[in-house]
Copies of this chain bind each other. A is one copy, B any other.
Amino acid sequence: MASGGGVEEASNKQVILKDYVSGFPKESDMYVNTSGTIKLKVPEGSNAVLVKNLYLSCDPYMRPRMKQPIPGGETYIESFKPGSPISGHGVAKVLDSGHPNFKKGDLIWGMTGWEEYSLITATQTLFKIQHTDVPLSYYTGLLGMAGVTAYAGFYEICSPKKGEHVFISAASGAVGQLVGQFAKLLGCHVVGSAGSKEKVDLLKNKFGFDDAFNYKEEPDLDAALKRYFPEGIDIYFENVGGKMLDAVLLNMRIRGRIAVCGMISQYNLDKPEGVQNLMTLIWKRVRMEGFLVFDYFHLYPKFLELVLPYIKEGKITYVEDIAEGLENAPAALIGLFTGRNVGKQLVVVARE
């Protein structure tokens, strides 16, 4: 760190988006810029927060943010800017603060930059971390956005009841592994799908799913679901979309519910796959509801109250896939879309 004009300045490695992405994203759509610097001080009079980033979260919703915005088209979140560092959820330490709610030394999680240090002006996305007797990295997933997503999607959208039959796709991912554990704790029958033997083993042996299958080894998804759910599916927690959704629709039970959390199989297609079996919504009186975690952050304290004791009692476990250093961040993010990650994918920028 160099001192300049009384303000400490540091070099600041950043992950930059080269240009808008169409089709399947590649590592080379981003690059790591090592020549930047940052003043480690909040500008005079600003209520921003200056943080040192520790852990960064890789999330599927970041793919749509790489797209060129459609003029006049609406979207729920703005696109990244080519030439600028990308952003996402992360865990960070406050180095300087102009905001009354945050002070130097605080640990926070929320929206930050993919870089070593960030000046965060959108402080409304930040949560102060109060509980540090759990791994800090959990605040990128289990105790962060993925956790609230699983909690709101399962309890608020699915209206689950004990004994119901629950199916989760992308079930070993950041959200899926938690939904399955919530469902088991409630007394549901839980089956998950994932894309490798290793992940299927995790679901059955580590997360306590009743059963699990590798969708890549099932040429007929409808037949697979009929095998695992001979009586049908009450609740489908949708993370993938496309062919899996079409097969699930054929297997829903009367008054079933589908929480549409994500459709990762569709994010890299220029034209989404068509879903043909929506008539089942009528015959089976199915409710299908999309949701965004941003609408549910007010439930965060209630969520922590439920989940912290479960973690401490060992009733909820969490698997993370940790990439080391910003240099490896682009590959970690791209890996989400090939299913390379096992469990919640995150990047360590610094451990303290």
Residues of A within 8 A of B (CB): 74-76, 241, 245, 260-263, 266, 271-292, 295
Contacts and interface: CB of A to CB of B under 8 A. Distances in A.
A276 B285 contact: no
Contact of A263 (B245, B272, B282, B285): B282
B286 A289 contact: yes
Contacts of A271: 276
A280 to B, nearest CB: 8
Given A266-B279, A279-B263, A279-B266, A285 B291 contact: yes
Contacts of A272: 276-279
A282 B289 CA distance: 8
Contacts of A274: 273-276
B278 A283 contact: no
A291 B276 CA distance: 18
A234 to B, nearest CB: 15
Contacts of A283: 74-76, 290, 292
11 contacts: A75-B283, A260-B282, A262-B282, A273-B276, A274-B274, A281-B288, A282-B290, A282-B291, A285-B291, A285-B295, A287-B290
A92 B271 CA distance: 52
Contacts of A285: 289-292, 295
Given A75-B283, A287-B287, 6 more contacts: A271-B276, A275-B276, A281-B289, A282-B292, A285-B292, A288-B289
Nearest to A289: B287
Contacts of A290: 280-287
A281 B289 CA distance: 7
A283 B65 CA distance: 12
A76 B284 contact: yes
A31 to B, nearest CB: 29
A209 to B, nearest CB: 24
The 9 closest A-B pairs by CB, nearest first: A274-B274, A281-B290, A282-B290, A76-B283, A287-B289, A272-B276, A288-B288, A260-B281, A275-B275
Contacts of A287: 287-290
Contacts of A289: 281, 285-288
Given A285-B295, A290-B285, A278 B245 contact: yes
Contact of A260 (B260, B263, B278, B291): B278
